Structure 1
Amino acid sequence: MTTTYAALLRGINVGGSRKLPMADLRALMTGLGHTAVATHLQSGNAVFTTARGDEDALAEELTGAIEERFGFHVDVLVRDHAYLAAVREACPFPADELEGRQLHVTYLSRPVAAERYAEIDAAAYRPEEFRLGDRVLYLYAPDGLGRSKLAEHLAKPRLNKGLIATSRNWNTVVKLVELTGDAG
């Protein structure tokens, strides 16, 4: 039995560094034995099916293959369709009322406790807000991520120590749910 997954690559094709053409990524993933491989945008979103069911092992395999083939390290998270759909459904913000650029999801490599973010004075960042979910952090940034002071604070290395974290805007979150649902 095959399962449909999304591979979320962190920090590729941004600012002129760590270039990874999506056609090359698709070929690499197909070479690893994955099927129905497709990419979305140029920023590291790939959908695929496989009979292997360990998300962490799939992510490690892809990380290693990218490093071997392209010569640089890329953090990768792999999540199945059911998880991606659950993240969309659990959004604590009124996603249907917001523009995609105002709402972001940071996918995390493991669950985190709220205490990790206890130092943040939430009131100081209003109207921006964040909430934790199942291995995700939801961020409402009404002026977009590029202008978000809260996003800047949340990205500090000490808050993300020991984590792989990669963010997607709400439009991409929704599209990945659709693509992984269609591929299955």
Structure 2
Amino acid sequence: MATYIGFLRAINLGARRKFAKAAIVRATEAAGFTDVETYINTGNVRFATSLRSRAKIEAALEAAYLDEAGFEVPTIVFTQAELRAIAEDAERFADGHDGRHYVSLLKQAPTAAAVRAIEERSSAEEVAKVGGRAVHLLLGANYHEAKLTNAVIEKALGVATNRNLTVIRALAERWC
């Protein structure tokens, strides 16, 4: 059995996409996964499985979440080592940055051309740095008005969900 961490996209936003932690646990267990734990209400779930294919794991979770929640829940899965590497990359990528640091977690690995295109959108106030299936967004004081957002990342690189670095670090410490 291997342990994985799943990140659910676009839940608990607005009145129609509510998906409580207990329901996430129930659905994850119904899909056959064990040792299930959630962390805060933004859609972070740890579980164990004998499956080794990320695509099969994501498909099983997405089907279970659709059944439980009644709406599609795109799910992005990482191994413990991958999540630990994302947290470690944050230190290297931030390199003295003292603003807001968010991480867009990608369902699929981007091409080299896509990585170049998104990193070239960086400015003095907003920087995007890609490491594997993670895009580190280093934003300034006006992060609510940022041009480099998860929506921009998704348009360029495909399905993604976003967490702040504090959550990424907490999950890496807690689950890796």
Structure 2 length-normalised TM = 0.86
CA distance in 2, matches of 1:113, 1:96: 28
Whether 2:46 is the aligned partner of 1:20: answer: no
Over aligned residues, Cα RMSD in angstroms?
Answer: 2.4
Mapped pair 1:6 → 2:1: no
Structure 1 counterpart of 2:89, one-letter code: A
Contact 1:47–1:179 under 8 Å retained in 2: no
For 1:118-166, what per-residue CA distance to the aligned partner results, in whole angstroms no more than 9, with x for missing partners?
377646x322101111111111012264332222772463x24xx2211
**Are 2:119 and 2:129, in contact at CA under 8 Å, matched by a contact in 1?**
no
1:105 aligns with 2:86: no
**Deviation of 1:95 (Å):** 7.0
After superposition, residues 49-64 of structure 1 pair within 5 angstroms as 49-64=48-63
**Are the equivalent residues in 2 in contact too, given 1:35–1:49 (CA < 8 A)?**
yes
Compute the displacement of 1:90 (Å): 2.1
Residue 138 (structure 2) aligns with: 140
- Structure 1 residue matching 2:163: 3-state secondary structure: strand
1:26-81: per-residue Cα shift (whole Å, max 9, x none)?
A: 11112222222111111111111122222221111110111122221111011110
Alpha carbons of 1:82 and 1:115: their partners in 2 closer, same or farther (altered >3 Å)? same
Q: Equivalent residue for 1:168? A: 163
Structure-2 separation of matches of 1:34 and 1:152: 29
Q: Is the 8 A contact 1:6 1:47 kept in 2?
A: yes
The residue identity in structure 2 corresponding to 1:19 is K
Letter in 2 for 1:103: H
Q: Which residue of 2 aligns with 1:32?
A: 31
Deviation at 1:171, TM superposition (A): 0.8
Name which structure has the greater RCO, CA cutoff 8 Å, separation 6+. Answer: 1
Structure 2: stretches of 5+ with no match in the other structure: none
Question: 1:95 and 1:29 mapped to 2: Cα distance?
Answer: 37
Write the distance in 1 (CA, Å) between the matches of 2:94 and 2:131: 15
Does structure 2 conserve the Cα–Cα contact (< 8 Å) formed by 1:56 and 1:77? no
Does the 8 A contact of 2:8 with 2:44 survive in 1? Answer: yes
Post-superposition offset of 1:6: 0.8
* Cα distance in 1 between the residues matched to 2:101 and 2:83: 15
User: What's the counterpart of residue 93 of structure 2?
Assistant: 93
Give the letter for the 1:131 counterpart.
K
Change (3 A) 1:144 1:64: farther
Structure 2: which amino acid aligns with 1:93?
F
Q: How many residues align?
A: 174
